[in-house]
C-alpha cells in the first residue's frame, strides 16, 4: 500500500500556531459550532501539508477517531474541507479548501436553494391544508429563501471580485 508521507513542518510544532487553533475553536464554539469541529477547521486552515490523514489529524488536535469523523463530516458538508483519496491507501485524508470562506458561501447557497424549493413545494402541496397563519409562515419562508438566494449570488460574486483585489503576500 502506498502511504502518504507528511511533511515535517506540522503546525503542532509551533505553540503560537496551536494557540491560534484553540482560539479559533473557541470563536467557533461561541458561534454554535462544536469546539472539536472548530479545532479541526483551525488546524486544517494552517496546515502546510498537502493533506492529512484522519489518524494524524486526531493526534494533532487530541481527539478520538469518532470525534474526527463527526467534525470532518460536518466540515465537508459545509464546504470548508474536502476528503482526498490516495490510491492504494485505505485511510481517509482531508485538506482545507483554498478559499474556505468562498466554499462556505457556495454551500450556504445550496442550503438556501434547497429550502427555497421545499417552501415552494409546500406552498402548492399544502395549499388547502393549512390555516392562514401556517400559510403565511410557509409563504414568508419562500419569500425569505428566494431573497436570500439572490443575495448569496451577489455576495459570492462580490467576494470573488474582492479576493482578486487582494495584494500579493
Q: What is the pLDDT of residue 168?
A: 62
Q: What is the pLDDT of residue 19?
A: 93
Q: What is the pLDDT of residue 2?
A: 45
Name the phi and psi angles at 81, rounded to 5: -135, 170
Query: Mean pLDDT lowest for which of 33-37, 89-93, 108-112, 158-162?
Result: 108-112
Question: How far apart (Å, rounded) are the C-alpha atoms in residues 148 and 115?
Answer: 11
Q: What is the pLDDT of residue 1?
A: 42
pLDDT over threshold 90, residue 98:
no
> Are the C-beta atoms of 25 and 36 separated by less than 8 Å?
yes
pLDDT over threshold 80, residue 47:
yes
pLDDT over threshold 50, residue 8:
no
pLDDT over threshold 70, residue 71:
yes
pLDDT over threshold 90, residue 29:
yes
> Are the C-beta atoms of 36 and 63 separated by less than 8 Å?
yes
Q: What is the pLDDT of residue 130?
A: 86
Confidence of residue 11 (pLDDT cuts 50, 70, 90): low
Q: What is the mean pLDDT of the chain?
A: 87
Amino acid at each position: 500500500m502506498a502511504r502518504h508521507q507528511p511533511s515535517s513542518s506540522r503546525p503542532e510544532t509551533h505553540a503560537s500556531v496551536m494557540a491560534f487553533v484553540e482560539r479559533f475553536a473557541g470563536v467557533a464554539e461561541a458561534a454554535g459550532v462544536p469546539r472539536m469541529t472548530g479545532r479541526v477547521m483551525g488546524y486544517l486552515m494552517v496546515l502546510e501539508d498537502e493533506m492529512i490523514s484522519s489518524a494524524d489529524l486526531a493526534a494533532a488536535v487530541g481527539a478520538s477517531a469518532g470525534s474526527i469523523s463527526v467534525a470532518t463530516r460536518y466540515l465537508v458538508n459545509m464546504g470548508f474541507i474536502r476528503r482526498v483519496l490516495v490510491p492504494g491507501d485505505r485511510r481517509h485524508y482531508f485538506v482545507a479548501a483554498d478559499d474556505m470562506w468562498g466554499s462556505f458561501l457556495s454551500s450556504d447557497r445550496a442550503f438556501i436553494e434547497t429550502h427555497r424549493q421545499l417552501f415552494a413545494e409546500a406552498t402548492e402541496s399544502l395549499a388547502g391544508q393549512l390555516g392562514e397563519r401556517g400559510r403565511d409562515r410557509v409563504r414568508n419562508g419562500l419569500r425569505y429563501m428566494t431573497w436570500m438566494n439572490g443575495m448569496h449570488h451577489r455576495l459570492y460574486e462580490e467576494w470573488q471580485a474582492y479576493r482578486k483585489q487582494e495584494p500579493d503576500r
